[in-house]
Amino acid sequence: MNDEYQDLKTADIVAESLIDWNVDVVFGIPGDGINGFIEALRVRQDKIKFVLVRHEESAALMACAYAKYTGKIGVCVSTSGPGAIHLLNGLYDAKADNVPVLAITGSTFSDLMNSSFLQDVKLLQLFSDVASYNTMIHVPEQAEMAVDIACRTCLARKGVGHINIPVDVQEKKLKGDYSKHKVPGHTSDIFDSFALPDKKLIEKAAKILNTGNKIVILIGQGALNASAEVVAVAQKLNAPIIKALLGKAVVPDDHPLNLGGLGMLGTEPASEAMSQTDTLLLIGTSFPYMEYLPKPGQAKGIQIDMKPEKIGLRYSVEVGLVGDSKTVLSELIPLLKERTHKNNIKDDLKNHYYNNSKLDISNVSLQFLHAMQKSMEKWKKILKEQSNREDIPIKPQVIANAVSEELEENAIVSVDSGNNTVWAARFLNMRKGMKFSVSGNLATMACGLPYAIAAKIAFPDRQSVAFVGDGGFTMLMGEFATAVQYKLPIKIIILKNNLLGMIRWEQMAFLGNPEYAVEFTPIDYAKFAEASGGKGYTIKKIDEVKSVIHMAMNEENEFPSIVEAYIDPFELPFPPKLNMEFPTHIAESFVRGQPYTMEIGTSLSMDHIPERFKSFQSHLKHKQNKEKN
């Protein structure tokens, strides 16, 4: 143990060790079980910023977002018992999305543990599932080592660490009372993430890719640091790029190789490409919805991931390359054969390849790419039509499109979970230099506002936007006051329909049940913003959309703003490809007593609905007529 820590309290050693790991922000709430550590942070305000939140769940969500947006360890703090329990949802968000977050909790006095004392909870047992490293500090001589192991484990395993410190241990001073096996100074604050697969595996992957005809690249959060390399591989292989939602910012949405997202909130061209591909390259993703991937045996698979246990998890692969995406792709690119230098120019396909009688790989791959690009052009026309509708009530697509037009070049966009996620995925266009995140695998509601706060704290000079639904926002809406307190001029766009819209959709379209327990009494969010010390805006009319959003997004002040946009509560989030199971279930819900059948039916029968939904409309009209009779 270093001499510099002699006579320092355990809490001080923990704080100093965090500083050694470049921790500069801690989110949390003080309390009698953690106040010793809070004091250690108070006397180090010039090195570590403590952000006081309104709910511990927010502290963990902010730590998760801070880690996502910076690549550093996110740290959250709580007192014993209920405070620590409140952290869990945000910590599971970090675990599910493979993000390094460290939670530091307090607990009751050492000699009162397991005696049913006030707020006495077995926190190590409680945190055993969420945390990759989970320990209690018993003596100050253990403190530095515990922090080093926790931080290193969080970074190495891309997950959660938990350190619990009894309140009396926080106050104990280091006296050098080491065990006979303990060597002072043995621990260090070093972590090296460099990893590279065996060269033969990289060569095998290159061989498979070089012989593929219809190659598709699926990217996720693990490719965020490898944008240039992803594009370079795609260009060499004539391969379209599909983005899992956490990988939305890897490649700009307007890039000619981009086919958008996959799954329920994805695009039709992406699903089409997956159904035709013969070679699938997965980069930094373990996309959960396997039914949207190629059928088993259809395509040869290659996967790049930092976590060995993720290889082959969702799709059977011939080669797994364990390592950092940027590093692995840099080694792979020189081994890939150049197919064409003009893979995004239509004339190249028209004037050269179609006139070549010999059908080579470049020809097939380019035809495939061009077909997907044409499909994407059609999809974009549908989105453009939807985003410019003038229906009353206002469609959520219109709001999302207007927000997208006001995003700055380096904006950071944080999205909540629900129907708003669908509209964000399709209508918020990421450009080069932007950041984007959401609760991915956990898909927890309420993440949007805490994420946006963390983004602004991490990058105070960048625009931070939260795009949320009213259901998710109300869960942790008290954090708006946190943004006011710290003078964080974030922009919060609330899609207001007084409804749990995604749950209504799931009840009707997935199960055929009438909606139940999904409607809320309204809240005036603009007045709430003003009452909290921020700025509030309201959109009720279609001609207010662009002007109000422009005003709110461009107003320069030191306080946060809320834009509440009244939207159509009956707009359903259709998947990119509609099978008849959904309309059948919706029709069943009508027969079984679903309210608002006329309103939903009207929404489904608008002439702006794409042609592929016509059979859906016919099916519903038949059921509606049957219901009336």
pLDDT in tens, 559-618: 999 999 999 999 989 888 877 888 899 999 999 999 999 998 887 765 334 444 455 555
For residue 154 the two structure tokens come to 């969080």
pTM of the model as a whole? 0.93
Give the per-residue pLDDT at 354.
37
Query: Do 519 and 610 fall within a single domain?
Result: no
Query: Do 582 and 568 fall within a single domain?
Result: no
Query: Do 408 and 536 fall within a single domain?
Result: yes
**Strand ranges (E), 173-296:** 215-219, 241-243, 258-261, 279-283
Query: Do 121 and 159 fall within a single domain?
Result: yes
Query: Do 203 and 342 fall within a single domain?
Result: yes
Domain termination residue (choose one: 343, 376, 409) = 376
Closest Cα to residue 600, out of 560, 626, 566, 573? Answer: 573
Burial class of residue 207, CB neighbours in 10 A (0-12, 13-18, 19+):
middle
Domain termination residue (choose one: 376, 408, 436) = 376
Q: Positive or negative, the Cα torsion across 172, 175, 181, 184?
A: positive
Query: Do 488 and 528 fall within a single domain?
Result: yes
Domain termination residue (choose one: 171, 186, 215) = 171
Q: Is residue 218 a contact partner of residue 267, using CB atoms and an 8 Å limit?
A: no
190: in domain: no
Rounded (5°) CA angle 451-456-457: 95
469: in domain: yes
64: in domain: yes
Q: In angstroms, rounded to a whole number, what is the distance separating the alpha carbons of residues 111 and 454?
A: 37
Calculate the alpha carbon distances from 122 to 171, 281, 308, 613 in Å. 21, 44, 32, 54
Q: In angstroms, rounded to a whole number, what is the distance separating the alpha carbons of residues 295 and 288?
A: 14
Q: In angstroms, rounded to a whole number, what is the distance separating the alpha carbons of residues 339 and 352?
A: 13
- What residues in the chain have per-residue pLDDT under 70? 1-3, 340-362, 605-629
178: in domain: no
Q: Is residue 84 a contact partner of residue 73, using CB atoms and an 8 Å limit?
A: no
For residue 156 the two structure tokens come to 């190495």
Query: Do 425 and 453 fall within a single domain?
Result: yes
Q: In angstroms, rounded to a whole number, what is the distance separating the alpha carbons of residues 280 and 152?
A: 33
Calculate the alpha carbon distances from 101 to 74, 305, 473 in Å. 5, 19, 23
191: in domain: no
Q: Look at the block and give the residue holding tokens 């029709």.
A: 587
Q: Find the domain containing 439 and state its range.
A: 396-576
Query: Do 265 and 133 fall within a single domain?
Result: no
Could you count the other beta carbons within 10 Å of the beta carbon of residue 87?
Answer: 33
Query: Do 332 and 229 fall within a single domain?
Result: yes
147: in domain: yes
- Verify cis geometry, omega within 30 degrees of 0, for the bond prior to 166: no
Give the per-residue pLDDT at 22.
97
Count of domains in the chain?
4
504: in domain: yes
Query: Do 356 and 444 fall within a single domain?
Result: no
Query: Do 587 and 482 fall within a single domain?
Result: no
User: Phi and psi of 450, rounded to 5°?
Assistant: -60, -40
Closest Cα to residue 431, out of 407, 463, 453, 415? Answer: 407
Residues 6+ apart with CB under 8 A from 363: 353, 356
194: in domain: no
Q: In angstroms, rounded to a whole number, what is the distance separating the alpha carbons of residues 489 and 510?
A: 40
Give the per-residue pLDDT at 359.
45
Q: At 303, which CATH number?
A: 3.40.50.1220
Q: Is residue 515 a contact partner of residue 507, using CB atoms and an 8 Å limit?
A: yes
Could you count the other beta carbons within 10 Å of the beta carbon of residue 193?
Answer: 11
Burial 606-627 (b: 16+ CB within 10 A, else e): eeebeeebeebeebbeebbeee
DSSP state, 395?
P
Q: In angstroms, rounded to a whole number, what is the distance separating the alpha carbons of residues 562 and 365?
A: 47
Q: Is residue 391 a contact partner of residue 569, using CB atoms and an 8 Å limit?
A: no
Query: Do 145 and 161 fall within a single domain?
Result: yes
Give the per-residue pLDDT at 615.
52
